[in-house]
Structure 1
Amino acid sequence: MNDKTTHRSDREIIYRWAVAEINPGIARVLSEKEQTYQERDRCIGIFYVDHEEGVTFRIHHLCRIEPGRLPEITTSFENHGEGFILHSDDMGAYTLLSDGDASDLALLEEQRWRIYYEPEQIQEVRKRTDLDRFRAQGYFDDVSVVLLSKGREIIPEGVWVRLERQSDDGATLRGILLNEPYSDFGMHEGDMITVRLVEDEEGRFLVAEV
């Protein structure tokens, strides 16, 4: 297994399997499901993106660890851990599994449920590393955007947008405005908005002109 990590970017952990210590957050999830565990137990799960809830860890198994050996699975949850989930912010220490270790544990066959969290229209947006600098930590589909007014003298304003899809050529993106602007741009929380990536002498920005 890989070394235990203290911090990784969302890009580095999404769609990766991990062995996690049972911290208070995971203990709460297990308790809510009336699932017992032993003090030495760990759990095996996968990080994925829930469009609304953000980067999420889904627990598939309980396991035990012996130095120099693959985890020994002791309990497997029904429906590949449906309902045994928590946000990545609530995780304690964990160790990412290599693809080889995940394959040896037959974990790669357990990911079919992910199709429900990866509609085709959002897959291409999630693959775009050029958007990573604008993404909210822990909420992979949410990006910071500068709101501009086309015809009125309104000070530009920073807002959050939850991306839904992009145009065929990738030049523009569509998403939902997540917060109400302070100024009257004619756009409101919950409205669909068009966003594009621009670059000038000050750097690169995601902007929406309304």
Structure 2
Amino acid sequence: MLYKNSGFRSLYRHFAAFMLNDVLREKIGSFPNAEKANCVLTYGYIDHEKGLMLELIAAGIKEQADFTFFGTYYMGRVFVPIGEIIEAEYFPTESSEEELRKSYADKLNILEMYNVSDEIRASRDMEFLDGSRHDEYPDDVVVYLKKQGVETETCWVRITGIGDRFFMGELFNEPERDFGFHSGDRIAFIAEEQEDGGIRLSADLTPDRILKTEELADGKLLKEAVAEFGKAQTKENFIEVLQLLRDSHVWVPCTAAVSESDMAELEKVMEEAGDVSEMIGKTFKTKDEVRMIPEILQNGENYFFPVFSSADEMGEFGERFS
């Protein structure tokens, strides 16, 4: 079996025996009985950034339809991206999968570091996305970018979440045309069924309206959009919030971290003032770099920082921050 014919599902979270090529033979050079081997036992996992990877577990021998695997390698991890061995022949080990999981449980436990959010994990199970996936990076899909007055263009987008009938993703490459979005920006996209029954992913980046700076200045529009999304968490309301966030100035409560020398200078100025209230309205200029550390909040296993549409909206919450 070859990867180009099977796709990532036959390897993702499964064991497989790969016949050795030059790359694999070099990789397992320190494995027990590597000199006798003609194959290697692997386990497939997905690194969200590096794509489909294979953890190399143990060297082995294939004799006709039978496989014998030697002891595993305990001196560290050895792995390889699928792209480096995409032409190598491999054989699934479905019949002995449960036994292998027990034998190499320690190896599999290490791979928990690559766990992703429930939404990303769920997207990997969506077979209707397979026609849009990158061969080597299953979390990356090709999306048709659309905007009124701009020719449609395709870009790779890395899936980061799932909403109500839409997906969220990060633009992986820079669009050639002016869509108002750039590499690294997050966009919402949907799956559309075509006349031939196929699925195409598309993102309509046409702004619903063109807003002037003065309309966004007081944060009222953003506040109203967030409130509306809180009432009805629909795709349309979510995109409205994203569009306003993209063009608005927001307030993020932060704590200022200054250097020891700047802190000493600030304490000196405060001491000279005598009363802290005397400092109100005065300017203190630091000599070194100032780091702004945002307040981090937690909801279950998720971490985030709060964003406010204006200083007034922060209220008492913002008074203890810089």
TM-score normalised by length of structure 1: 0.83
Deviation, 1:93, is 1.6
Q: Which has the higher contact order (CA 8 A, sep 6+)?
A: 1
| Equivalent position of 2:50 in the other structure | 53
Structure 2 residue identity aligned to 1:127: D
Task: Check if 1:118 corresponds to 2:105.
Answer: no
Q: Tell me which of 115, 134, 151 is aligned to 1:136.
A: 134
- Unaligned runs of 5+ residues in structure 1 are none
Which digits, 9 at most, give the CA deviation of each residue in 1:10-31, with x for residues without a partner?
Answer: 2232222111122112123335
Task: Check if 1:22 corresponds to 2:20.
Answer: yes
Larger radius of gyration, structure 1 or 2?
Answer: 2
The answer to whether the 8 A contact 1:102-1:108 is kept is no
Deviating beyond 6 angstroms after TM superposition, the runs of 4 or more aligned structure 1 residues are none
Q: Tell me which of 81, 91, 95 is aligned to 1:95.
A: 91
Mapped partners of 2:46, 2:189: distance in 1: 21
Deviation, 1:39, is 4.6
Structure 2 residue identity aligned to 1:199: E
Deviation, 1:205, is 1.5
Sort the Cα spacing of 1:89 and 1:195 in 2 relative to 1 into closer, same or farther, 3 A. same
- Unaligned runs of 5+ residues in structure 2 are 206-322
> Number of residue pairs matched?
196
Mapped partners of 1:193, 1:19: distance in 2: 39
Deviation, 1:127, is 0.8
Which digits, 9 at most, give the CA deviation of each residue in 1:138-172, with x for residues without a partner?
Answer: 110010100011xx4001111110101111x3x11
Task: Check if 1:158 corresponds to 2:154.
Answer: yes
The answer to whether the 8 A contact 2:157-2:172 is kept is yes
Mapped partners of 2:161, 2:188: distance in 1: 10
Percent identity between the two aligned chains: 23
Deviation, 1:68, is 5.2
| Equivalent position of 2:234 in the other structure | none
Sort the Cα spacing of 1:185 and 1:19 in 2 relative to 1 into closer, same or farther, 3 A. same
Mapped partners of 2:184, 2:58: distance in 1: 37
| Equivalent position of 1:179 in the other structure | 173
TM-score normalised by length of structure 2: 0.56
Higher strand share: 1
Task: Check if 1:73 corresponds to 2:69.
Answer: yes
| Equivalent position of 1:9 in the other structure | 7
Higher helix share: 2
Mapped partners of 1:113, 1:43: distance in 2: 19
